[in-house]
Amino acid sequence: MFTYIIKRILLMIPILFGITILSFGVMHMAPGGPAEAQMEFSSKASSEARERLRILYGADQPIHKQYATWITKFVTLDFGVAFADGRKVKDKILQSLPITLTINLLSLGLVLMIAIPIGIMSATRQYSLLDRFTTIFVFVGFSTPSFWLALLLIYLLGVQWGVLPISGIQSLGIDGIEKWSWRWLLDVGAHLVLPVFVSAFTGLAGLSRYMRNNMLEVLRQDYIRTARAKGLPEREVIYKHALRNALMPVITILGLAIPGIIGGSVIMETVFSIPGMGQLLYQAVFSRDYNLAMGILVPAAFLTMLGNFLADIAYAFTDPRIRLR
């Protein structure tokens, strides 16, 4: 087991290296560095000023030197400053992370609450009317362009009926209200309803289908037949024997969902004008803000890998065949 863990940790190093090289390389391939992106609007800026900015950002150095400078700082958790406003990347991220995290944790909670029962029910009653209905329901969610649904809901609920706020995370006059008071919570909560609902609905299919297929697979196992044969009530067979074994892989794929969540946040936060990580990344890409973009991507990629790593370790604990391979 110990050697397996060590091997698995060593495997993460080239992946992490690859992630930094690929994201760094792709961003630097783009024509026009941060200096050009910043000066685009002031055509009067002299080439001299431009050159000074380039030197300031280190953009005059060859790319491998820029990468070396960046990564030596990065491993000491120094993410540098954002080119756009000179603020620390770490501060910018810490400011917008709670917003994105709140929305996605709420929507993940909603998804788990719906997907697991749906998965169990449609597996235990495969091809029943209920199974067909939930299949269509989750596939409709999966096939819906999230921004389109968001747009229609904003129009209907926000503009036409005026029951929900349509953008941002709090009302304009909210600053006077005490944080964490009931009125504040209610206001922020109302702003979160649409983003959370839309991302939960469009993200439901993955988990519920995965749950259904795992459950179908488990229900065909010998130990389930044994449990039934020794006369256990069906409830106990399904919720005690089958569910536990079917749930495990579902928990472990959550780590792989992180890149998708960031990608989804880019779109959701644009539609609802929410100042979160997605918007930050979007702005970083377009202003060629390497420090900011890498500061978001690399920790996210690291978390994804960590999720995978923990999942593999958990598997190896339960299944000795894996660690012997």
Partner 1 sequence: MNKNQKSESFFTRTIQLLLQNKLAVLGGAMVLTVFVLSIFAPLIAPYDPSAIDIKNILMGPTLSHPLGTDELGRDVFSRMLWGGRISLEVGFIAVGIATLIGIMLGSLAGYYGGWIDSIVMRSVDVMLSIPTIFLVLTVIAILEPSIINIMIVIGLTSWMEPARLVRAEFISLREREFVLAAHAMGGTDTRIMMKHILPNGLSPIFVSATMGIGGAILIESALSFLGLGVQPPTPSWGSLLSSGKDNIEIAWWLSAFPGLAILITVLGYNLLGEGLRDALDPRQRE
Q: From the CB of 286, what's the least distance to partner 1, in Å?
A: 7
Q: From the CB of 225, what's the least distance to partner 1, in Å?
A: 15
**Are the C-beta atoms of residues 84 and 283 closer than 8 Å to each other?**
yes
Of residues 188 and 294, the one with the C-beta less far from partner 1 = 294
Of residues 188 and 293, the one with the C-beta less far from partner 1 = 293
Nearest to 161 by CA among 170, 153, 169, 172: 153
Q: From the CB of 92, what's the least distance to partner 1, in Å?
A: 17
Of residues 97 and 177, the one with the C-beta less far from partner 1 = 97
Q: From the CB of 14, what's the least distance to partner 1, in Å?
A: 6
- Give the Cα separation of 115 and 257 in Å (integer): 15
Of residues 188 and 288, the one with the C-beta less far from partner 1 = 288
Q: From the CB of 111, what's the least distance to partner 1, in Å?
A: 18
The DSSP string of 222-286 is: HHHHHHHHTT--HHHIIIIIIHHHHHHHHHHGGGGGHHHHHHHHHHHHHHTT--SHHHHHHHHHH
Q: From the CB of 272, what's the least distance to partner 1, in Å?
A: 13
The DSSP string of 282-312 is: HHHHHTT-HHHHHHHHHHHHHHHHHHHHHHH
Of residues 34 and 187, the one with the C-beta less far from partner 1 = 34
Q: Is 88 helix (H, G, I), strand (E, B) or coil?
A: strand
Of residues 188 and 201, the one with the C-beta less far from partner 1 = 201
Tokens of 57: 């950002």
Please list, in sequence order, all residues whose beta carbon lies within 8 angstroms of the beta carbon of residue 261, skipping any fewer than 6 positions away.
Answer: 104
Q: Which residues bind partner 1 (CB under 8 A)?
A: 11, 14-15, 18-19, 22-23, 26-27, 29-31, 126-127, 132, 135-136, 139-140, 142-149, 151-152, 155, 159, 213, 216-217, 220, 256, 259-260, 262-263, 266-267, 270, 281-282, 285-286, 293, 297, 300-301, 304-305, 308
